[in-house]
Structure 1
């Protein structure tokens, strides 16, 4: 330990509660970029500065700066949006974005391609329909996930209320966002952040609520998780988990993914106190010198789970009861119609890669705009990049079905189980961290794996595939049966052996493979699996049982 804070800590300290130089940066019309320090500050406002990497070299040859633009991520607890909000986001995508909406693995909308001069107008339009981007990125509690499972609507509604309460509690209290983007009155005098302090958290912080038996949020991948304990249709409380996280650095064994540990059970009235003080312990105990070791998972591994639990109990004035029994059977979404309560119905649509876009024969952006114009319920974005058209009255189902058919939103019905489940992060061309393709590569690669499955009579097989362009984990690749993690252009590390419930990590099988090498490896393994599998055995379980890789117990 050097006792020298990271440069990002300096930027936060000097930011005056997240103001930085953003006002001046936005006013500078000489460049499409903002001041380097402000690229960190603006993350707390829900935005990343990006450029189009497909044309970066071309512009450099022309002596032009990169084609800078900004990604905006909406804070939307539980991924719930009204039809009015959907229509506003659709309009912004077509007016200021790149004519697409991205549905993220954090149940949020992302707009890509927003130019600096349009940032303020975009955020103000969001605000007009009660949406914001506050704390969607940065060293802070980010958008909170909630199970989108429609089958348990009454319990879901009760859990969703807790999601919203924790999201509100953990919002930063600075008025910087309102001053900069919404022309709010400037604060005179001092400010304070009672939970975060002046320098916020050491690193990003992610939270999820889940309702078993569906682990559609991959709760063990999160810094903080709440697993609902339900009995006779009533919410008794939550098992609380801490210390999950997926990001790592290639070649650095001091960085690693970690499954969350369970602290124990609490009743619903303790949720706010426990959430607040899990955050404050990480605020005070987390590593502020080296960012790659700053997530909560490293804090817990450094101090020990018992010491961490004792400190949370002390600060929150609670005692965790023994963990209540629970189980998960899947971490995927179920597509098509399901019946809810009070005569309502829910339609889950597959949105491949989470990209809502108009393509020939699949006018998804247009189709969902038309659905939003007539829909009387709400929309739920899932953590698997899909969409639930929720709370549809029986009398409206036929109209929704007709629009789904007209605009090709039912394309998923022809997809294999593998293609329905697969996840990919954005990666190239906009993500500055990506080494390789992910979202753009997903349909093509999925079809090649489908061919291997079909050759072995397994096309019907539920199989989890996830692809990310780098090891930061946005697509949760370690919680899949087959994971590809970008290493270089066209090259991936191949991971195998995860389960289908999001409770077991996969393990590195081989490094730096190109597509043909990956397909050759999988061809042989899938052929063996077809011959040797037990009845109903999944590919990941077969890999683990046969010690193709050594997975944790």
Structure 2
């Protein structure tokens, strides 16, 4: 690929330059982007087509840049095929929500949209945002225009661009956290694509920008693949910073932010049967002052933009660019584009990647209640009107909500006066305490998988709660119910719930069959290892029974399960 060396301007990457390439040098998805008129394609016309519940294949790919995935109800797929009907199309709509911060007024609006168009459910994701499911094509515009009324959008929530930017959820709600959150919000606003396509298609605005200038950074082909950014505050690694393409690790002296260690190249995705694909932990390459975040984002993203693989999408993530070119080469290229050298990384320590549940206090006397939401699903369940409960709280809450990277919900910035009222509502709806849930359940996550995800090979969200109940019987046998063990499940190998850094990871291979991984680091610092391949529930439970028996008998004081199976040589 022919690359023009980018010359720094005031320490920042030039965002406007010609990077056009002959279409013959591009893979099919790259050609599609190049010919899409900056993500417009035929989306507007497809939305008007009342014959089909879906849109054309090319526009399905472009819709991802708008935060929308076309899906279908896979529980009905075979029957509809037998009846020679098209799939029961519906759409997933993902909100752009930097750092997972949401106002009570926004929650009320999201709740209203979910009840009207989204199957009366909201999903909290592993990247701190909301997903609507079951949206019909005819309701897409109403949903997105409703989000606009709440000052929210879905720009770049999916697609080959910078996805939602994550930020640590600090239980102390300190001034340090506020400063880092501001950086995450600014990063999200800066790094999203700039085409007028979104406003034209969804808000009905007229086109005003010329095609030559409306994407000064991304150009005609955007990024080779998705790109994930996150900000974390030690000692909690709640965002799993090593799973990010670009991670900023806050380095503070007391409550004063001095800057960030920069980590690059994390990614969880892999493909079964393709050993050339693999999960990778991010590498820390140095330290930057706190005021150099935007320049660093431009420099790092531009390296991936210019050198990432644009022919083979399975080889197009930033981790492969780094491993192909070499970490030292990539770091030198980033420094060239920055116009300065990164300082040596500063010392930091992580101790966990989970959430502190229940009440905690902030510096200024306000409070936060972190509520366990199993697999992030907000709905009115039998015996637990969770959706109604949170809506009731939102209507009287005077602070914010914060979605955690572990699919939980923090009712944050609660004033002294309002805390007793919220506590009373938590008790009224049965949300105070964790109802006897094991530490394993509280440290578990699952992707959506079936019936809506088109990539799922096996169940995940619908299956994991019952599986954990059966695992809890084993935990109780060995007095491990309160032992914090991270467990992540996905319905395919793509890693949306970050299974490859869990102490126990399960990834779907086929209906009822999973790969079992063990040995990940408790705070996300080590990949796990494949332990058993393509096994069903009985084999999973038998393996865990054996492992938990060994762990209970042989662990050292304070030793985590993942560390034990490594030390004991159960996995390499």
User: Which residue number corresponds to residue 353 of structure 1?
Assistant: 375
1:84 aligns with 2:84: no
Tell me the CA shift for residue 360 of structure 1: 2.0
Over the aligned positions, Cα root-mean-square deviation in angstroms equals: 1.2
Counterparts of 1:300-339 in structure 2, within 5 Å, are 300-339=322-361
Tell me the CA shift for residue 103 of structure 1: 0.2
User: Which residue number corresponds to residue 391 of structure 1?
Assistant: 413
Counterparts of 1:145-544 in structure 2, within 5 Å, are 145-187=166-208, 189-190=210-211, 191-410=213-432, 412-544=434-566
Q: 8 Å contact 2:358–2:433 — kept in the other structure?
A: no
Tell me the CA shift for residue 341 of structure 1: 2.2
Residues 6-49 of structure 1: CA distance to partner in whole angstroms, max 9, x if unpaired?
21111101110000100111010000010110010000000000
Q: 8 Å contact 2:196–2:209 — kept in the other structure?
A: no
More displaced stretch, 312-321 vs 345-354: 312-321
C-alpha separation in 1, matches of 2:549 and 2:285: 42
Pairs aligned (count): 550
C-alpha separation in 2, matches of 1:332 and 1:446: 18
1:34 aligns with 2:52: no
Tell me the CA shift for residue 534 of structure 1: 0.9
**Unpaired runs of 5+ in structure 2?**
2-22
More displaced stretch, 353-362 vs 191-200: 191-200
C-alpha separation in 2, matches of 1:6 and 1:119: 30
Tell me the CA shift for residue 3 of structure 1: 7.1
C-alpha separation in 1, matches of 2:505 and 2:263: 24
C-alpha separation in 1, matches of 2:42 and 2:217: 24
Residues 92-127 of structure 1: CA distance to partner in whole angstroms, max 9, x if unpaired?
110001110000001000000000011001000000
C-alpha separation in 1, matches of 2:467 and 2:78: 27
Counterparts of 1:4-43 in structure 2, within 5 Å, are 4-43=25-64
C-alpha separation in 1, matches of 2:500 and 2:432: 29
Tell me the CA shift for residue 424 of structure 1: 0.3
Helix, strand or coil for the counterpart of 1:230? strand
Tell me the CA shift for residue 413 of structure 1: 4.2
What TM-score does the superposition give when structure 2 sets the normalisation length?
A: 0.95
Helix, strand or coil for the counterpart of 2:172? helix
User: Which residue number corresponds to residue 15 of structure 2?
Assistant: none
Helix, strand or coil for the counterpart of 2:440? helix
Tell me the CA shift for residue 410 of structure 1: 3.0
C-alpha separation in 2, matches of 1:188 and 1:132: 20
C-alpha separation in 2, matches of 1:395 and 1:152: 18
C-alpha separation in 2, matches of 1:372 and 1:106: 22
Select which of 93, 105, 110 maps to 2:126: 105
Residues 249-294 of structure 1: CA distance to partner in whole angstroms, max 9, x if unpaired?
0021100000001110000111110111100110000000000000
C-alpha separation in 1, matches of 2:469 and 2:456: 22
Q: 8 Å contact 1:361–1:408 — kept in the other structure?
A: no
C-alpha separation in 2, matches of 1:194 and 1:239: 28
C-alpha separation in 1, matches of 2:244 and 2:148: 28
Residues 431-487 of structure 1: CA distance to partner in whole angstroms, max 9, x if unpaired?
000011110111101111111111112112111111100111100001111100000
C-alpha separation in 2, matches of 1:537 and 1:3: 55
C-alpha separation in 2, matches of 1:285 and 1:517: 44
Tell me the CA shift for residue 184 of structure 1: 1.1
Q: 8 Å contact 1:140–1:205 — kept in the other structure?
A: yes
**Unpaired runs of 5+ in structure 1?**
none
Tell me the CA shift for residue 533 of structure 1: 1.0
Select which of 86, 92, 111 maps to 1:65: 86
C-alpha separation in 2, matches of 1:98 and 1:275: 37
Residues 314-344 of structure 1: CA distance to partner in whole angstroms, max 9, x if unpaired?
1121210000000100000010000012221
Q: 8 Å contact 1:221–1:244 — kept in the other structure?
A: yes
